[in-house]
Amino acid sequence: MEKRILGKDLQVSAIGLGCMGMSHGYGAARDKTEMIELIRRTHEELGVTFFDTAECYGPFTNEELVGEALQPIRNEVKIATKFGITLQDFKQVLDSSAATIRASVEGSLKRLRTDHIDLYYQHRVDKQTAPEEVADTIAQLMKEGKILHWGMSEAGVDTIRRAHKVCPLTAVQSEYSMFWQQPEREIIPTLEELGIGLVPFSPLGKGFLTGSVKRGQTFAANDFRSKVPRFEAENIDKNMVLVDFVTEIAQRKQCTPAQVALSWLMAQKPWIVAIPGSTSWKHLSENFGAATITYTDEEMSDINARLAQITLSGHRYNADSQKSIDSGY
């Protein structure tokens, strides 16, 4: 697989693997042995070198899974993980104090079975801790060799600029896809100006862009989509216009809808590296085939013009989750 550069010098595969869904967020955790095999196979057969996890996925169990899977090939891959979200009484609490960051990095290093983290994200902006303070703590951890690069997730442009002045960011992770194009307004221009890479999570619209979500579908209580307004039955029905359009492109390009969604992202900027997730080898191998799909300028102009005409229904987060998102959206 081709490589891309995030920030100044973090080289990763053009598409990474988001590992969250293997143990968190989309229903019951999958069999650990099977997921370890899947992660290793993704590297060996597809050339994926970029793997994404987080302290709070599980919590902790996803980092343990990724650490065990990648230990034999640690020097061949890049691992991204995140700090800043803790669970208290089953609720998310944001904490990016220096003491918490230091405790988090030590825990992540142990679970990931490594002596350094290639890319360490602040998972959500903690409004009680100034971005400059967070960046200063990270800079110290970099000097100690525990972190090689750092980033922020779902941060607004003012926060990004303030943090970047203290300790340059390598990447920002934000939701971005045909299903959520808001970052094009402020985030992407800011990242281009500052030389920061973008790592879109949910590049397949939480499964919506694959065509696997059907009209009238409901989700189990342990599937986070059950609490997402955009996945309420009425909104799913209204938003099928986007699925129909993506399917139309897929038929024209002789590929899958998921490959359309991923290749569209890759075509937007050369410093965008999406991290789709899956627990199925069939879907994974299909998804990473997106790296071979290209578009002419005319094709992309037509696609983007059509997308601009589609209005989607429903918020991407419920009210409680929206409170944790930084300004800039």
Question: Does position 235 have pLDDT exceeding 60, yes or no?
Answer: yes
pLDDT tens digits, 16-49:
999 999 998 898 999 999 999 999 999 999 999 9
Angle value at C-alpha 168, between 166 and 172, nearest 5 degrees? 120
Let me know if residue 231 belongs to a domain. no
pLDDT tens digits, 156-198:
999 999 999 999 999 999 999 999 999 999 999 999 999 999 9
Let me know if residue 312 belongs to a domain. no
Let me know if residue 220 belongs to a domain. no
pTM, to two decimals = 0.95
Let me know if residue 55 belongs to a domain. yes
Q: Taking residues 126-140, what's their average pLDDT? A: 97
Alpha carbons 55 and 13: distance in angstroms, whole number = 23
Alpha carbons 81 and 106: distance in angstroms, whole number = 12
Alpha carbons 109 and 158: distance in angstroms, whole number = 30
Alpha carbons 39 and 279: distance in angstroms, whole number = 9
Are 198 and 187 a contacting pair, CB within 8 Å? yes
Dump the DSSP string for 14-26: SB-EE-GGGTSSB
CATH number at residue 71: 3.20.20.100
pLDDT confidence band for 88 (50 / 70 / 90): confident
Question: Does position 12 have pLDDT exceeding 50, yes or no?
Answer: yes
Question: Does position 323 have pLDDT exceeding 90, yes or no?
Answer: no
- Percent with pLDDT over 90 in the chain: 89
Q: Where are the beta strands (DSSP E) in 14-134?
A: 17-18, 50-52, 78-83, 85-88, 91-94, 119-122
Q: Taking residues 42-70, what's their average pLDDT? A: 97
Are 63 and 54 a contacting pair, CB within 8 Å? yes
Mean pLDDT of the chain: 95
pLDDT confidence band for 326 (50 / 70 / 90): confident
When divided into structural domains, the chain yields a total of: 1
Catalytic residue set: 57
Provide the token pair at 123: 């998972």
Alpha carbons 222 and 14: distance in angstroms, whole number = 31
Let me know if residue 139 belongs to a domain. yes
Let me know if residue 90 belongs to a domain. yes
Q: Taking residues 232-245, what's their average pLDDT? A: 96
Question: Does position 320 have pLDDT exceeding 80, yes or no?
Answer: no
Let me know if residue 187 belongs to a domain. yes
For residue 179, the enclosing domain spans 3-207+269-293
Let me know if residue 262 belongs to a domain. no
Amino acid 91: pLDDT: 77
More confident position, 6 or 318: 6
